[in-house]
Amino acid sequence: MTNTAPWTSRKPTAVLVLADGTVIEGVGIGATGKVTAEVCFNTALTGYQEILTDPSYLGQIVTFTFPHIGNIGTNDEDVEDLTPAARRGAVGTIFKADITEPSNYRTAKHLNDWLASRGIIGLSGIDTRALTAWIREHGAPNAVIAHDPNGVFDIEALKAEARAWSGLVDLDLAKEATSGQSSQWTEKPWVWNEGYDELKAEDAKYHIVCVDYGVKRNILRLFTGLDCKVTVVPANTTAEDIMALNPDGVFLSNGPGDPAATGKYAVPVIQQIIKTETPTFGICLGHQMLGLALGAKTEKMHQGHHGANHPVKDHTTGKVEIVSMNHGFAIDSKSLPEGVEETHISLFDGSNCGLRLAGKPVFSVQHHPEASPGPQDSHYLFRRFINLVRERKGEAALAER
């Protein structure tokens, strides 16, 4: 891959150094310093703030294929991580064009300042299409991204760091993305020109316990929007402590890292929850670990799925929906044991995107149905989950759509 940056008259103040020795020079944005991570690309046209604060991106550098990032600035409402802190989402980012001045009535801070405040190191002014094509051919690489306003880099040392990093396989990042303690979530979905309302205690009909492996805020909002009291618990919470909360349903959240690594402590907990026949719903990492708990296997993907325009087919309805994706690991469809049904598949590559346990109130999906960012085609999955809760209580089902 050649560095075909359009800004060749400017001094490089940031570099991306791949593990194979490739060096890509650009203009630094956001935080200064360096970090080692995996490079992926995201094809979404909107929602860059939600993407960069998605805890599932911890340990990754996000390359945006859409060239103009930063046009609408940033605000305090479009953050997706539960506990905002530096490096609670993506650790680095790559843009094609310079960040422009924001033009949106909700803008609170320029993207460059926001990136710096969150410790996200950025690189702009490179041919992101060439980098994306390289990743498609060679797979998501390990790399070091570095930003120095003076443009001083020890390239050989950075190459050595990129080569030495072990990558995401066998890496448990959920322990870094999870909440430090249990908490209650009451914020409801955003309403145009009104913002967020709060769920009142007297309006809560059901109690959902969310096991937080790196949960996104809009997932929790959609539960409260269905009149659910939500208790968020850390990733290492025991099954006994979860069930002591008397949940009507248990949610297994999204999150970063290798599901097999996090599964060493999470899978036994999930297996115990399943035995109680409590309605259980998983998304992303939660989906993958539910699969492991049921006897399936997971695998590292070549380039992963990252974007808000992925077609997925729901075998239970026969419908195709456009969804938001963010994952570098997947369940091996061929490893699904008897009694575990594949419910959704990717129409890009046929990979598994959903499963359910036959005869039990247990299911999960690989994609992100909360649509933050992304289309709302899959919002019905939250109603499907609540219907399992209602069925257990002897109540009539809600319409899924």
Q: What is the CATH number of the domain that holds 259?
A: 3.40.50.880
315 tagged catalytic: no
253 plus 157 within the same structural domain: no
Rounded-to-10 torsion of CA 213, 219, 223, 226: -170
For residues 155 and 38, membership in a common domain is answered with yes
Q: Which domain holds residue 84?
A: 14-164
Q: Is 242 in the same domain as 318?
A: yes
Residue 399 falls inside a structural domain = no
H or E segment to which residue 263 belongs: helix 259-275
**Does residue 222 sit within a domain?**
yes
Are 44 and 66 a contacting pair, CB within 8 Å? yes
Compute the distance between CA of residue 222 and CA of residue 337 in angstroms, rounded to an integer: 31
Of the candidates 50, 80, 161, 370, the residue annotated as catalytic is: 370
Domain C-terminal end among 104, 133, 164: 164
CB 26 within 8 A of CB 139: no
d(CA 350, CA 342): 11
Catalytic option among 287, 306, 368, 379:
368
Q: Are residues 184 and 151 in the same domain?
A: no
- Which segments of 53-122 does DSSP mark as H helices, in order? 111-117
Among 164, 184, 208, the domain-final residue is 164
Which of the following is catalytic: 40, 210, 228, 284?
Answer: 284
pLDDT less than 50: residues of the chain: 2, 4-8, 86
- Alpha carbon distance 269, 178 (integer Å): 16
Q: Are residues 155 and 25 in the same domain?
A: yes
Token readout for 218 is 């809009």
Nearest alpha-carbon partner for 225 in 116, 104, 371, 323: 371
What single DSSP character describes residue 189? Answer: P
State the alpha helices, DSSP H only, in 125-167.
128-138, 155-164
On whether both 66 and 193 belong to a single domain, the answer is no
| Number of domains present in the structure of the chain | 2
Q: How would you label 238-276 residue by residue, b for 16+ Cβ within 10 Å and e otherwise? A: ebeebeeeebbbbbbbbbbbbbbbbbeebbebbeebbee
Burial of 76 (0-12, 13-18, 19+ CB in 10 A): exposed
Task: Examine residue 258 and state whether it is found in any structural domain, yes or no.
Answer: yes
5 falls within a domain: no
Nearest to 119 by CA among 35, 176, 57: 35
- End position of a domain, from candidates 164, 191, 221: 164
285: in domain: yes
Give the CATH number, domain containing residue 134. Answer: 3.50.30.20
124 shares a domain with 188: no
Q: How far is CA 91 from CA 62, 65, 195, in A?
A: 8, 17, 28
276 part of a folded domain? yes
What number of H helices and E strands is found in the chain?
10, 17
According to DSSP, the residues that pair with 184 across neighbouring strands are 231
pTM of the predicted protein model = 0.96
Output the pLDDT for position 192: 87
- To the query of whether residue 368 is one of the catalytic residues in this protein, the response is yes
pLDDT of residue 217: 96
310 carries an active-site annotation: no
**Dist CA 183 CA 242 (whole Å):** 13
Please report which helix (H) or strand (E) contains residue 14, including its range: strand 14-18
Residue 22 Cα distances to 124, 143, 194, 280, angstroms: 17, 9, 48, 45
Nearest to 47 by CA among 398, 385, 377, 370: 370
Structural tokens at position 204: 């809560």
Does residue 247 contact residue 237 with C-beta atoms inside 8 Å?
no
178 shares a domain with 159: no
Which pLDDT does position 193 carry in this prediction? 84
Strand order in the sheet with 340-346: 183-185, 228-234, 206-212, 249-252, 280-283, 362-365, 352-357, 340-346, 298-314, 319-331
The answer to whether the beta carbons of residues 173 and 204 sit under 8 Å apart is no
The tokens for 270 are 């999930």
User: Residues 268, 191: one domain?
Assistant: yes
Q: Do 77 and 49 sit in the same domain of this protein?
A: yes
Instruction: Give pLDDT tens digits for 286-302.
Output: 999 999 999 999 999 99
Query: Looking at the structure, do residues 149 and 261 belong to the same domain, yes or no?
Result: no
Residue 121 within any structural domain of the chain: yes
Residue 264 lies in a domain: yes
Are residues 199 and 290 both part of a single domain? yes
